[in-house]
Amino acid sequence: MPTNVPERRLATVMAADMAGYARLMETDEISVLDRQRTHRRELIDPTIEKFYGKIVKTTGDGMLIQFDTAQEAVQCGVEIQTEMVARESHVPRKERIRYRVGINIGDIIFDEGDIHGDGVNIAARLEALAEPGGICIADGVHQVSRNQVDATFRDFGIQKVKNISRPIHVWRWSPASLVSDASESASPEGLEQKVNYCKSHDGSMIAYAAVGSGNFLVKAPHWLSHLEYEWRSPVWRHLMEELAGRHTFLRFDQRGNGLSDRSVDRISFDAFVEDLEAVVDHAGLERFDLLGVSQGCAISAAYVAEHPERVRKLVLYGGFTRGRRKRNSPEENALADAFSTMIRIGWGQDNPAFRQLFTSAFMPEATSDQMEWFNELARVSASPDIAARISEANADVDVTALLPRVLCPTLVLHCREDGIVPFEEGRRLAAMIPNARFVALEGRNHLMLEGESAWDQFLREVDRFLSE
């Protein structure tokens, strides 16, 4: 008779993996291995033991741990991730060791010192959804630990994960609020943002934040955003620092994105405009300046057309009047379909190569560090399904009929070699808004990066326009 019969029982599983392991090893494998061993010896293994966890197996860059309770697993993960921030703070950001952690509770098969089953697979998929230094947990884990752990997990919505047929309700903890060094937490000027929440017209929760002082400058949402992650990103940080240094700069995550509700049924242009309405009303803004970037231009124009008394001046950068499917171009229609397919299939498989295609199109002149950040931003901001649905909604936008009703002073800027939104769309946008001023910028990037000539020109033009 067999003596080692597999045992099946309810247990909590933690999957942990080092973010960017191959890249880190290529940079300085000796230093990485030495720091990794030190972290294991001094922090990770003792903390796992403290919370009665058992290391089931390890790989070069990860490990699988079993806990008796969800509370102990979550406490262990938060303690390790919090301490790792402090331990790696002296290392240049792109060289830091960061772990992703996923935690699931389920029916687990124990067999000869190993663990198997759906519950283990889900923990691994949750780990892949976490941002570097962060934790993702299944809803079952959240339900039994939420009042027992001193950490705030935000609703990450319903996620479809690789090789798991049913959708998973995910909650996420971010390390953003724990990072204390000047390079990641706050700007050199000491700016800090406070996240607020409001309900949109259909009840969806929208997260927004304001920093700086002076007249309000509200930014309409772009395609994918994350209030916390962008604050630390070399792709967006310079924009926030510069504009918050001149204004009270308010921005928000549209539905399905970032810290706003992830589980939303309604993804449409009208809903995007309603989210903007809800945010400025909740913030108590009677009159303000409005900035649109990319898809935010059409949203901003639609808002101004309906609320002309609320907006003092309007700034539009990299925008369009018509989405890809409305431009009467077979090539643009094909691109819209291709974008949607690549998002759903490539991102759904968590394949960074697919995200890199978008990054290269948005920022062809970006550094490797900037590309890495944008790739990660795309991954953590929204699920593949939501990202695709927003892209599809944008492809069907047409605000042509609304533009003659945009009567406030308007500045339109567009890069001549923008690879995402054609330069002619920017010129068309300016031509259809009464008395709008158009400025052509010299550059190839759809998202302007710090140090490029288009960025410097953008700042000069916007400063002059808003101060007139």
55: containing domain: 7-178
- Per-residue confidence (pLDDT) for residue 340, from 0 to 100: 80
Among the candidates 154, 178, 202, a domain finishes at 178
Spatial distance between the Cα atoms of 298 and 319, rounded to a whole number of angstroms:
7
Q: Which residues contact 368 (CB under 8 A, 6 or more apart)?
A: none
- Per-residue confidence (pLDDT) for residue 232, from 0 to 100: 75
Question: In this structure, what CATH number is given to the domain that contains residue 219?
Answer: 3.40.50.1820
Whether 184 maps to a domain, the answer reads no
- Per-residue confidence (pLDDT) for residue 341, from 0 to 100: 80
What's the number of domains the chain is made of?
Answer: 2
Q: Is the pLDDT of residue 138 over 70?
A: yes
Phi and psi dihedrals of 66, rounded to 5?
-110, 135
Whether 189 maps to a domain, the answer reads no
- Looking at the structure, tell me whether residues 122 and 215 fall in a common domain: no
Q: Which amino acid is at 328?
A: N
Whether 47 maps to a domain, the answer reads yes
Interval 52-89: pLDDT, tens? 999 999 987 889 999 999 999 999 999 999 999 888 87
Q: How confident is the model at residue 346 (pLDDT cuts 50, 70, 90)?
A: low
Q: Is the pLDDT of residue 2 over 60?
A: no
Q: How confident is the model at residue 290 (pLDDT cuts 50, 70, 90)?
A: very high
Tokens of 413: 């800027």
- Looking at the structure, tell me whether residues 458 and 315 fall in a common domain: yes
Is 0.75 surpassed by the pTM of this model? no
Average pLDDT over residues 179-188: 37
Question: In this structure, what CATH number is given to the domain that contains residue 14?
Answer: 3.30.70.1230
- Looking at the structure, tell me whether residues 91 and 232 fall in a common domain: no
Tokens of 261: 């509700």
Least confident of 103-107, 215-219, 450-454: 450-454
**HSE, side-chain direction, 13 A CA sphere, residue 307:** 22
Least confident of 50-59, 298-307, 404-413: 50-59
Q: How confident is the model at residue 186 (pLDDT cuts 50, 70, 90)?
A: very low
Helix axis angle for 352-362 and 330-342, nearest 10°, is 140
Among the candidates 133, 150, 178, a domain finishes at 178
Q: Is the pLDDT of residue 156 over 80?
A: no
- Looking at the structure, tell me whether residues 213 and 341 fall in a common domain: yes
- Per-residue confidence (pLDDT) for residue 1, from 0 to 100: 45
| Length reported for the chain | 468
Whether 188 maps to a domain, the answer reads no
424, β-bridge pairs:
none
Q: Is the pLDDT of residue 184 over 60?
A: no
